[in-house]
C-alpha cells in the first residue's frame, strides 16, 4: 500500500510539473542572493533560495535592495541588481547533439552577463532582449540597464 501511494504521488508530481521539465535538465542554479528575490514559475510566485534550480520559462525578480547571482549550466553568469525582472525564455545546452540556445528578456533593472559556452559555440543562438532592443552576443561580457517608464 505504501509503495502504491508513493508511486501515485510521484506520478502526480510529474503530471503537475510545467511542460518541459521532465525532458530538459535544469538551466542553472541560484548561487547568491540578498534582499527580496522571487521566482515565478507556471504562474506561481515564491521566494528564491540559494542553490535553487532554475528552468527555461522562469521569471526572476529582485525587489528594492535585492540582488541575485545565477550560474547557468554552460557557465554563463547572470547578475541582477535591485528592482530587476528577467525572464529566462529559452535554455538548451547539449553540445554533443549541437543543440544550443539561450534567450532571456530583461524588462526592468540592471543585468550583468559573463557569457558562457553557448555564446562561444553558437553566438547566433544567444539573445538577450529588452523592451526596446535586442542584444546579440559578440563578446563575453556586458551590462544592460532598463529604466522604469
Alpha helices in the chain (DSSP H): 2-16, 117-121
Residuewise pLDDT in 10s, the chain (149 residues): 444 444 333 333 433 444 444 467 999 999 999 999 999 999 999 999 999 999 999 999 999 999 999 999 999 999 999 999 999 999 999 999 999 999 999 999 999 999 999 999 999 999 999 988 666 666 678 788 888 76
Print the SS3 string covering 82-138.
Answer: CCCEEEEEEEEEEHHHCEEEEEEEEEEEEEEEECCHHHHHCHHHEEEECCCCEEECC
Pairwise CA distance, residues 36 & 50, whole Å: 12
Query: Domain map of the chain by residue range?
Result: 26-146
Q: Can you give the pTM of this predicted structure? A: 0.80
Cβ(114)–Cβ(76) below 8 Å: yes
Q: How many CA atoms lie within 13 A of 134 on its CB side?
A: 7
What's the CATH number for 26-146?
A: 2.60.120
Q: Is 117 helix (H, G, I), strand (E, B) or coil?
A: helix
- Note every long-range contact of 13-17, with CB atoms under 8 Å and residues 24 or more positions apart, other chains counting: none
Exposed/middle/buried for 21, CB within 10 Å: 0-12, 13-18, 19+? middle
Amino acid at each position: 500500500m505504501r509503495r502504491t501511494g508513493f508511486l501515485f504521488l510521484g506520478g502526480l508530481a510529474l503530471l503537475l510539473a510545467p511542460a518541459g521539465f521532465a525532458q530538459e535538465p535544469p538551466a542553472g542554479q541560484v548561487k547568491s542572493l540578498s534582499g527580496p528575490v522571487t521566482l515565478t514559475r507556471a504562474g506561481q510566485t515564491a521566494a528564491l533560495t540559494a542553490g535553487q534550480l532554475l528552468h527555461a520559462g522562469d521569471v526572476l525578480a529582485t525587489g528594492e535592495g535585492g540582488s541575485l547571482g545565477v550560474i547557468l549550466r554552460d557557465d554563463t553568469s547572470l547578475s541582477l541588481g535591485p528592482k530587476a525582472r528577467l525572464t529566462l525564455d529559452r535554455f538548451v545546452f547539449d553540445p554533443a547533439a549541437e543543440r544550443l540556445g539561450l534567450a532571456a528578456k530583461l524588462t526592468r533593472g540592471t543585468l550583468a552577463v559573463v557569457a558562457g559556452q553557448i555564446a562561444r559555440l553558437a553566438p547566433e543562438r544567444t539573445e538577450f532582449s529588452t523592451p526596446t532592443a535586442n542584444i546579440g552576443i559578440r563578446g563575453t561580457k556586458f551590462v544592460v540597464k532598463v529604466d522604469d517608464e
